[in-house]
């Protein structure tokens, strides 16, 4: 449920998002249902106000629980559809044709990928650290037909340390950059858990973005209007970004504001959040998989199936446990 650290090259559900500087406006957004998120009390901020290099200033207290911005996350990252949904359905179908067993998604968030797979007939379990996100995923599944709902299960858990019936799953995957939420040791621990829970002959998938020089460059006030509205008003996302080379930590400090886009009207802060990613090059990801006892059998640079290239938006690795003679 993560995202690229630099929104200057954002990709959501296989499509690039347009970004703007603070003085530029985007086209009108489309409405989408959502419920309020209240990690901080709304505060009135004059649009365009600036101090210390930031468009809108962050508060001293910021949550690091993704559940604090659950409803805003679903506005920013809507349902899994199109090329992304087809990709995961095809990969799940291939895995289940090879070995029997359900599917496990780690860091499943509010269930956008799990539910897309369940709609296609796949039994799927979503494991997520945030209990608020799991509650949201459960609520979303309850709105679906019983046949789809019965194919889903949700678990609160840490993707570096969990037990869900060892050796039971035909496919275990981490989607949409969430693997980068883990530091160096955490990534190795996660791969160990994936291997432990994989059925014989099963597959794992790591879906991340290939970092570029922009992702190692600090920047303040990266602004973006989200594509859907929150209670009838536009949502402005403002992010300050720092990269710490000594710990390979890409830190994003994000604020969300409700606004009617009228420069004469105040904007209200509706959410604030901080997260850290630990991105690596595709070459280092593949080397890590090999050290963890996996053999990479296929790679993709897009959900449409293109190979990884310097301009790819994704770096997707499909692997199986290495079989020794």
Per-residue pLDDT reduced to its tens digit, 41-67: 334 444 444 333 344 555 555 667 788
pLDDT tens sequence across 29-46: 333 333 333 333 334 444
- Of 280, 274, 216, the closest CA to residue 240 belongs to 274
Least confident range from 47-51, 234-238, 318-322: namely 47-51
What percent of the chain shows pLDDT beyond 70? 80
- Of 224, 307, 198, 190, the closest CA to residue 4 belongs to 224
Q: What pLDDT is stored for residue 260 in this prediction?
A: 87
Tokens representing residue 258 in the block:
């409700």
Domain ranges of the chain: 29-62+212-277, 82-210+282-321
Classify 82-210+282-321 by CATH class: alpha beta
pTM for the predicted model, two decimal places: 0.83
Least confident range from 13-17, 124-128, 209-213: namely 13-17
Q: What is the C-alpha to C-alpha distance for residues 115 and 100, in angstroms, rounded to an integer? A: 20
**Nearest-5° angle of CA 45, CA 48, CA 53?**
100
- What is the pairing mode between strands 11-12 and 169-174? unpaired
pLDDT tens sequence across 258-274: 998 777 778 899 999 99
User: Tokens 């275990």 — which residue?
Assistant: 172
How is the beta sheet containing 267-277 ordered, strand by strand?
44-45, 267-277, 249-259, 234-244, 219-225
CB 223 within 8 A of CB 20: yes
């Amino acid at each position: 449920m993560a995202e690229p650290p630099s929104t200057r090259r954002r990709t959501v559900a296989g499509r690039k998002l347009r970004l703007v500087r603070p003085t530029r406006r985007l086209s009108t957004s489309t409405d989408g249902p959502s419920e309020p998120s209240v990690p901080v009390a709304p505060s009135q901020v004059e649009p365009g106000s600036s101090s210390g290099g930031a468009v809108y200033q962050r508060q001293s207290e910021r949550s690091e629980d993704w559940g604090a911005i659950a409803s805003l996350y679903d506005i920013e990252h809507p349902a899994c559809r199109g090329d992304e949904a087809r990709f995961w359905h095809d990969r799940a179908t291939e895995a289940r044709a090879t070995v029997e067993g359900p599917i496990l998604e780690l860091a499943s968030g509010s269930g956008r990928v799990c539910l897309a797979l369940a709609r296609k007939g796949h039994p799927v379990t979503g494991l997520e650290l945030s209990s608020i996100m799991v509650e949201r995923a459960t609520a979303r599944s309850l709105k679906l037909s019983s046949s789809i709902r019965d194919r889903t299960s949700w678990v609160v858990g840490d993707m570096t340390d969990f037990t869900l019936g060892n050796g039971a799953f035909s496919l275990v995957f981490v989607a949409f950059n969430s693997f980068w939420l883990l530091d160096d040791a955490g990534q190795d621990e996660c791969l160990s858990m994936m291997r432990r829970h994989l059925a014989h002959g099963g597959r794992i998938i790591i879906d991340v973005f290939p970092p570029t020089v922009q992702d190692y460059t600090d920047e303040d006030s990266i602004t973006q209007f989200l594509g859907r509205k929150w209670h009838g008003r536009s949502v402005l996302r403002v992010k300050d970004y720092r990269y710490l080379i000594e710990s390979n930590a890409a830190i994003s400090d994000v604020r969300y504001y409700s606004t009617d886009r009228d420069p004469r009207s105040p904007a209200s802060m509706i959410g604030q959040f901080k997260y850290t990613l630990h991105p690596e090059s595709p070459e280092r990801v593949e080397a890590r998989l090999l050290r963890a006892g996996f053999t990479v059998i296929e790679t993709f640079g897009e959900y449409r199936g293109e190979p990884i290239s310097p301009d790819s938006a994704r770096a997707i690795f499909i692997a199986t446990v290495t079989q020794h003679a």
